[in-house]
Structure 1
Amino acid sequence: MDDANDSEEGLVKRAAQTLRSLLGPDWQVADMTPGDAQASRSFFDARLQITPPDRSRYTDVLVSAYRSLTPRAVERNVGPIHEILGETSNPPVLLVVAPWLSQRTQNELRTRGIGYLDLTGNVDWSVGAPAIRILTQGASKAPKANGGEETKSVTLAGPRAGRVIRFLTDFQPPYRATQIADEAGTSLPWVSRLLGQLEDQLLVSRDGRSIVKTDWEGLLRARAETYSLLRHNSFVGMTSPHGPQAVLRDLRELMNSKASQNGDRSIAVTGPLASRAIAPLTAGGQLMLYVQAGPRSPDIWADELGLLRTEDDADVLFLRAYDDIVFSRTRQVDGIPHVALTQLVLDGLGGPGRMPAEAEAILQHMAMDTDHWRMSWNKDARG
């Protein structure tokens, strides 16, 4: 995208061209912006006049152009303007344009009834008279050349971001960035930058230095967009002589008999069998077990459980944990450690086959009673 198109004026021109293309050659889209608009501009960058093929009437459209727009900016800036316009006797049509709009920004605009158009093809805009309804889907991720939201240096990818997201979702606020940085084992400046970005996305809310509210479901979904269960955790397939349920019984006996004498024997169930214990949705599926990331960890556990490596038709998967956070705040289910519900959702949303659908069922279960699984933060709330 060239410099002209990075300016508000360039964005308006590109948006007008896009509208002409979407509406068709029989419609007229004229830029009626006064020549001195930039000198007198307050909230709007242009006024477009749209006329239908029969020329029976036209509608004026006020255009607000943004080189970058976050959900927080919609809440603080665009939303109040739209509300003021709505109080007039004949409210004008508003259209927000930008190089690219994230899904969360689109949702925030749509919730407020504000039409939008980005230059990748994301459009949701309606006009009553003449009747216009445009709904198209463009890029789900920011183009690399775009100076927008996803080009910032702090992202939700990587282990340290995963630890922060687990903290924000596992624990009820209030707490401060210093406590998050200490628990996640990362630097305070990095955590502060990440929190600033999450605040822009309306995923966290702060009162002074304290975080007072988190959108735990939104945080999990945002993190899951950067995470793939089988890509980020190398795995080894195993076959069991008597099936996954027999493996779980053997694992329970093994944990009970050796837990006191074997030190750190980190293992945790995730995937379909863990989901089924919370919200039964499907039958079958592999038994997925997180183990430490050491090269021999899967084989050590396989020997103790009587499993054999296989390249095909594995009914047990040992996942070498990408980070020890997967073993934090585990739950005991029938004497066997299962990953925390937040980790189970992340694994499901980033997993193959039916796992995303299973994760959606877990999310519904979690939303019904957050007090059951979210902990209050204090200096002893570690695990």
Structure 2
Amino acid sequence: MDHTEQSGEVVLRHGLERLADLLGRTWELSPRTDVTTRGGVDALVDVRPPDGGIQAQLAVEVKSRLTPRQVEDDLLPRWELIKQINSGTNLVVVAPWLDRRTRDLLRERGIGYLDLTGNVHLRVPRPAIVIHTDGAVKDPRGGAQSRAGGPTLAGPRAGRLIRALVDHAPPYRATQLAQLTGLSLPWVSKLLTRLEEQLLIRRDGRVVTEVEWPDLLRARAGSYDLLRQNPFVRMLAPNGSEHVLGNVEPRPHGAPGTYPEVVVTGHYAARQVAPVASGGQLMLYVHDGPHAVDEVADRLGLLRVDAGGDVLVMRSHDEVVFDRWREVDGIPHVALSQLVVDCLAGPGRLPAEGEAVLRYMAEHVDEWRDTGLSTG
């Protein structure tokens, strides 16, 4: 199906066709025509079960796009009005695509949803209807968000700002964040506005007062691909990964604040924090540069291979991956916030390991998060 911009009528028609397919041919969907006195929704649909018993009524809202802020500010008050008019009505949002944050919020507030990529959630008590399916993780319309104006969560600049928001507890202003990250104040302000629309941060005037850091990390990972955005070389460790780690410089040379030559991420780093699985390739970040990988490989005793290998050496897409590095048993590791993003955006078992690290972080916030933002 073409998911480029479509009229509300087309989205509604395709959405009801999808719902009919999910319910099956024995169920009957009957759109009603008079919705002017029913809370101003786009459509009312009667749903009749196969046995001809009690029918359900769906109040359908059609949205080309929907943000969590719009859910909170517009849709929830509308939902309260609809329930006052008819407590037996069930509100359902139909859209071309809904992001995870919006879907989670709708589900928490008892609102059903159906997008044209297959993300569907509908719970009706009478007659009993329970449907939940997962569709596209990313918007199939491609750059629709960028065309709508403003920055997205993709790219190195977003990575720097998100790391700053997660690693430093508020309150703080955009000016402080811009100074800390080296980003332009106008760009920082625009991304903060986008994050506020997603309810990933909250502000009081110009001051950031709350950061939903677990969901912010998940959102960043959804716009990031660990192995695509960090060019990597497959390596073989003839003497094993532990021998490789034994050759890693435990501390960087140079002035305070200097980054290490190598930092560990991925499976090995996650297991040191929240072990949920064994095995997996050793993943190492090195600084970006034409000879960085080969120089590090020589020092660590690694051999290039065309396929397989037990070590991945990655050229970092941005120096932020080294920021706030940790020393674990004498070996440099990425910060916990970077580790979560890397795992959630990685292949295989890494996303599950990333969620385990997130749980650890939630239980030990005081151990890794700064309570103040220093820009001096």
* 2-structure distance, mates of 1:4, 1:197: 21
Are residues 1:6 and 2:7 paired? Answer: yes
Give the letter for the 1:31 counterpart. Answer: P
1:319 aligned partner: 314
Unpaired runs of at least 5, structure 1: none
Residue 351 of structure 1: SS of its match in structure 2? Answer: coil
Shift of 1:20: 3.7
Distance 1:98 1:299, change over 3 A: closer
Are residues 1:296 and 2:291 paired? Answer: yes
Give the letter for the 2:355 counterpart. Answer: E
Query: What per-residue deviation string (whole Å, max 9, x for no partner) do you get for residues 128-171 of structure 1?
Result: 33333333333332232896799655221111111111111111
Give the letter for the 1:174 counterpart. Answer: P
Contact 2:167-2:368 within 8 A present in 1 as well: yes
2:274 aligned partner: 279
* 2-structure distance, mates of 1:312, 1:19: 45
Larger radius of gyration: 1
Shift of 1:346: 1.3
Are residues 1:365 and 2:360 paired? Answer: yes
Correspondence list, 1:155-194, <5 A: 155-194=152-191
Identity %: 47
* 2-structure distance, mates of 1:355, 1:56: 47
Query: What per-residue deviation string (whole Å, max 9, x for no partner) do you get for residues 302-341 of structure 1?
Result: 3333443333553333221110001111112233321101
Shift of 1:5: 4.8
Deviates more, 1:90-99 or 1:220-229: 90-99
CA RMSD of aligned residues (A): 3.1
Distance 1:321 1:59, change over 3 A: closer
Residue 270 of structure 2: SS of its match in structure 1? Answer: helix
* 2-structure distance, mates of 1:55, 1:264: 69
Query: What TM-score results when the alignment is normalised by the length of structure 2?
Result: 0.87
Contact 2:39-2:78 within 8 A present in 1 as well: no
Match of 1:129 among 107, 126, 131: 126
Are residues 1:74 and 2:71 paired? Answer: yes
1:29 aligned partner: 29
Correspondence list, 1:299-378, <5 A: 299-378=294-373
1:236 aligned partner: 233
Give the letter for the 2:261 counterpart. Answer: S
Shift of 1:268: 1.4
1:60 aligned partner: 57
Give the letter for the 2:136 counterpart. Answer: A
Residue 221 of structure 1: SS of its match in structure 2? Answer: helix
Contact 1:142-1:149 within 8 A present in 2 as well: no
2:112 aligned partner: 115
Are residues 1:48 and 2:45 paired? Answer: yes
Shift of 1:114: 1.1
Query: What per-residue deviation string (whole Å, max 9, x for no partner) do you get for residues 288-312 of structure 1?
Result: 2211111111222233334433335
Give the letter for the 1:303 counterpart. Answer: D
Distance 1:41 1:370, change over 3 A: same
Deviates more, 1:264-273 or 1:96-105: 264-273
* 2-structure distance, mates of 1:312, 1:89: 62
Shift of 1:208: 0.7
Unpaired runs of at least 5, structure 2: none
Contact 1:141-1:150 within 8 A present in 2 as well: no
* 1-structure distance, mates of 2:259, 2:102: 44
Give the letter for the 2:262 counterpart. Answer: I
* 1-structure distance, mates of 2:270, 2:205: 38
Contact 2:39-2:82 within 8 A present in 1 as well: no
Give the letter for the 2:29 counterpart. Answer: V
* 2-structure distance, mates of 1:2, 1:58: 31
Residue 223 of structure 2: SS of its match in structure 1? Answer: coil
1:268 aligned partner: 263
Residue 376 of structure 1: SS of its match in structure 2? Answer: coil
Shift of 1:271: 2.1
Shift of 1:120: 3.0
Shift of 1:25: 4.3
* 2-structure distance, mates of 1:293, 1:341: 21
Contact 2:150-2:191 within 8 A present in 1 as well: no
* 1-structure distance, mates of 2:17, 2:301: 66
Shift of 1:213: 0.7
Contact 1:68-1:149 within 8 A present in 2 as well: no
Shift of 1:212: 0.8
Contact 2:3-2:141 within 8 A present in 1 as well: no
Query: What per-residue deviation string (whole Å, max 9, x for no partner) do you get for residues 188-218 of structure 1?
Result: 2222222222112111111110111111111
* 1-structure distance, mates of 2:4, 2:284: 51
Give the letter for the 2:163 counterpart. Answer: R
Give the letter for the 1:244 counterpart. Answer: S
Query: What TM-score results when the alignment is normalised by the length of structure 1?
Result: 0.85
Distance 1:122 1:309, change over 3 A: closer
